[in-house]
Structure 1
Amino acid sequence: MTDVGDTERRARAALTRIAEPGDETVGRWLRQMGPVELLRALKGERDAPEGACEQKFAGLRLRAARQDTAADLAAVAAIGGRFLCPGDEEWPGQLDDLGDGRPIGLWVRGPANLRLWALRSVAVVGARACTDYGAHMAAVLGAGLADRGWTVVSGAAYGVDGATHRGALAADGATIAVLASGVDFAYPRGHTELIGRMAEQGLVIAELPPGDHPTRSRFILRNRVIAALTRGTVVVEAELRSGSLVTARRAMELGRFTMGMPGPVTSGLSAGVHQLLRGGATVVTDAAEVVELVGSIGELAPERRGPLLARDLLDPVAARVLEALPARGGADARQVARDSGTVGDVAQGKLFELQSLGFVQRSGGRWELVRTATATAGSR
């Protein structure tokens, strides 16, 4: 694949200043006319697309009159960034699943190849005002995914997003921040240092040109890029009304894996996750379980088992004889044989085996549980 030409790149860069992210009407015009001709129409150099809403097109033309593509490209170059277009070698093809809502282009900061990093990536999103539990689990999940060679994608917000990015960076792993502003505009301001670190060690990407500020609607629209870019989305804490759930549901619509990390049922910050799980998302509790779901065949999470007790290793007859002994006091061999449904000689032999293993002891003519074995034997 070869990169797109300079004329198309400049036209797409200009259109990111004119159109809002995810505008499917503009996306349809773009598909029908191509970026160069659409930009000419918005500049008044040719007719508007057939059937275009006059009021909408007039509003876009006002924006087109104010845009300065050369300044935007110079601004991103000044911070070591670049502008990617569909058709570039570095363009992540999975974004094309968004159809007419596909980004017009992406402004990028960071040394890594976006397409290659996105091939093996997982989104981790969640509440901004998360609990200590949520922040801890997000950081552990980010570090665990990074340790396993997965790129961690999130939105650089406070709470779960920030904890996830920090976890990945702490593990010297790959992480991508998808912003709802220009790549030169750190938002939230408290994450200026974090976003700067990601621009150096990872990637920071945005649909909006340099200098553009985030708005409520842009945060929601940004989430579709997170969902489409990655193999799956994990939600760590979310209220019933949450942008994180928007990301997860969009991922589900796109056929991506959708996962939730459960929390206390008494917490409102877990209510949204639990609702998502009831709607078909998969429960995950750590990075290994996430990778088992989104990874290749054979990338299995370790089997979860309770502790192995010494009595678990007994053969069935010996276990039955041990169960026949009362929790308090003792019983003679004949009583044990009867209660265990075992022939007398066999029961006697098993009692001696159990004595050698430290489960029982003999007191006169009676057999009783050794005190340390009482808890494992159970009561009758």
Structure 2
Amino acid sequence: MTSGARPAERLARAALTRVLEPGDEHGGRWLREFGATGLLALLTSPGAGRGRLTGVGEQRLDGYRARALAAVPERDLATVTRLGGRFVCPGDTEWPSQLDDLGDARPIGLWVRGSPDLRIWSLRSVAVVGARACTSYGAHMAASIGAGLAERGWVVTSGAAFGVDGAAHRGALASGGATVAVLACGVDVVYPRGHAELIGRIVEQGLVLAELAPGDHPTRSRFVLRNRVIAALTRGTVVVEAEYRSGSLVTARDAQRLGRFTMGVPGPVTSGLSAGVHELLRGEGVLVTDAAEVAELVGDIGELAPCRRGPVLPRDLLDPLSARVLEALPARGSAAGPEIARGAGTTPDEALARLYELHSLGFVERHGGGWQLAGPATPAVTMRRGGA
């Protein structure tokens, strides 16, 4: 599944996940210029990188060198293999090419647990992200969208955090669907600890992946940088509840920069947890309310959401002339046929014919020489649409 990259290249990239932080564009540029094996050699050979690894200070470069000398990629690869996982890197057939859109911020490689093919799953995936301290409304919407997308054959991708992330994963799992968790720590580290069971279920039924080597723990910056991977892996990002300062909005902005769809689920204007979403919707974000609308936006031709409209009233089924005749009747009292004809803009004979039709349908009543609207009883609706 991971064939493609040369063994030396794979080993060097595995080592570099211990050296470079996620999204390090200086490191990404060096990788592009020297290759993984060449960069590792420059970092581990005394004095070899001086004058060649540009863009950072000597103190920071010393930190890179110290971590490179301490890296034991064989041990990390053995650890992930023991967990039933693998290390996927550029050049492998399983590598999702959309990650290349990140340029020099592209992941060095991805540590993956779970049996499905990451590249295939990423071709039809949607990110669902949002507030950790979400409301019951946010959790309900995230679970509903996650389940609906899974039922339509979409992969639900999120970050396995509390709140919206967890609800989206659970919605997809409950529907027997596919879901991917992108972690800000090693794939063998359970974070948050309260999601140990959920992450275990995702490993069994989906995929868990991370840029960081096994055993690495999350930090605030790693959570933020993880979001660019979620955005790049998917066709679009749905934000369900987010404050103005929210990591979910970082994911949405990353998606916008990458040319992906950005969507938001509206909430009460009085809720601070919806303020960030509403700000997104005032810009480039698209308002969505369920999985059908998400699939219509990010999906292929023909994946249309059902048409939505209010209830069909009996008078909606009238043809245009009958509707005009009915509207010409006074709200109170009665009117003669010629008067109604003038109001409807038709002849007295045509108006009389339509009045009798409307009488048979229960819309009007005749009293003496005049016509008036019928009482509150519901008119018959068995007429054919668009005609008398």
Q: Would you say same fold, with TM above 0.5?
A: yes
1:247 is aligned to 2:251: yes
For 1:23-34, what aligned pairs fall within 5 Å after superposition?
Answer: 23-34=24-35
Q: Which residue of 1 aligns with 2:198?
A: 194
Q: CA separation in 2, counterparts of 1:72 and 1:371?
A: 81
Taking only the aligned residue pairs, the percentage that are identical comes to 69
Residue matched to 1:350? 354
Deviations 1:353-374 (A, max 9, x none): 0011111122333322222368
Secondary structure of residue in 2 paired with 1:372: coil
**1:261 and 2:265 correspond:** yes
What's the CA shift for 1:212? 0.8
Larger CA deviation: 252-261 vs 114-123? 252-261
The farther-off stretch of 47-56 and 134-143 is 47-56
Amino acid at match of 2:43: L
After TM superposition, the score normalised by the length of structure 2 is 0.92
In structure 1, what is the Cα distance between the partners aligned to 2:65 and 2:149? 45
What is the CA-CA distance between 1:211 and the residue it aligns to? 1.0
Q: Tell me the CA shift for residue 46 of structure 1.
A: 6.1
1:153 aligns to what? 157
Q: 2:279 aligns with which of 269, 275, 287?
A: 275
Contact 2:30 2:53 in 1 (8 A): no
CA contact (8 A) 1:122 1:232 kept: yes
Residue in 2 that maps onto 1:22? 23
Structure 2 portions without partners, runs of 5+ = 381-388
Quote the Cα distance in structure 2 between the aligned partners of 1:60 and 1:207. Answer: 17
The alignment partner of 2:365 has SS state of: strand
Corresponding residue number in structure 2 for 1:134: 138
Distance 2:265 2:342 in 1: 50
Deviation larger for 311-320 or 332-341: 332-341
Deviations 1:233-279, CA, capped at 9 Å, x for gaps: 11111111111111111111111111111222111111111111122
TM-score (norm 1): 0.94
Q: Distance in 1 between the 2:378 and 2:8 partners?
A: 82
Are the aligned partners of 2:131 and 2:241 in contact in 1 as well (CA < 8 Å)?
yes
Amino acid at match of 2:249: L
Paired residue secondary structure (1:34) = helix
C-alpha separation in 2, matches of 1:19 and 1:306: 56
Deviations 1:318-366 (A, max 9, x none): 1112112233333333432343333222222211100111111223333
Deviation of 1:64 after TM superposition, in Å, equals: 2.1
For the residue of structure 2 that corresponds to 1:371, the secondary structure is: coil
Q: Which residue of structure 1 aligns with residue 384 of structure 2?
A: none
Distance 2:319 2:379 in 1: 19
Distance 1:342 1:33 in 2: 84
* One-letter amino acid of the counterpart of residue 259, structure 1: M
For these two proteins, the number of residue pairs brought into alignment is 376
Q: 1:340 & 1:255 partners in 2: Cα distance?
A: 53
- RMSD, matched Cα: 1.8
* Equivalent position SS for 2:315: helix
Does residue 111 in structure 1 map to residue 115 in structure 2? yes
Q: Distance in 2 between matches of 1:46 and 1:59?
A: 14
SS in 2 for 1:326: coil
CA contact (8 A) 2:314 2:379 kept: no
Q: Which moved further from structure 2: 127-136 or 65-74?
A: 65-74
Mapping of 1:274-293 within 5 angstroms?
A: 274-293=278-297
Distance (Å, rounded) in 1 between the aligned partners of 2:179 and 2:47: 43
Question: Which of these residues, 77, 83, 102, is aligned with residue 79 of structure 1?
Answer: 83
Matched, 1:68 2:66: no
Give the 3-state SS of the residue equivalent to 1:260 in structure 2.
strand
Q: What is the aligned partner in structure 1 of residue 94 from structure 2? A: 90
Deviations along 1:279-319, one digit per CA (max 9) or x if unpaired, are 21212122122112111122222222222222112122211
- Looking at structure 2, the residues matched to 293 and 133 of structure 1 have their Cα atoms a distance apart, in angstroms, of 23
**CA displacement 1:139-182 (0-9 Å, x = unmatched):** 11111111111111000111111111111111111110000010
Work out whether residues 327 and 374 of structure 1, in 8 Å CA contact, stay in contact via their aligned partners in 2.
Answer: no
Aligned-partner SS, 2:242:
coil
User: What aligned pairs does 1:327-342 form with structure 2 within 5 A after superposition?
Assistant: 327-342=331-346
Deviations 1:195-252 (A, max 9, x none): 1100000000000011111000000000000011111111111111111111111111
Q: Report SS of the residue matched to 1:177.
A: strand
Of residues 286-295 and 239-248 in structure 1, the stretch that sits farther from structure 2 once superposed is 286-295
Q: Give 1:2 deviation, angstroms.
A: 4.8
CA spacing shift, 1:322–1:373, aligned 2, 3 Å: farther
**Any conservation in 1 of the 2:110–2:210 contact (CA below 8 Å)?**
yes
| Counterpart amino acid of residue 252 in structure 2 | A
Counterpart contact for 1:223–1:247, Cα < 8 Å:
yes
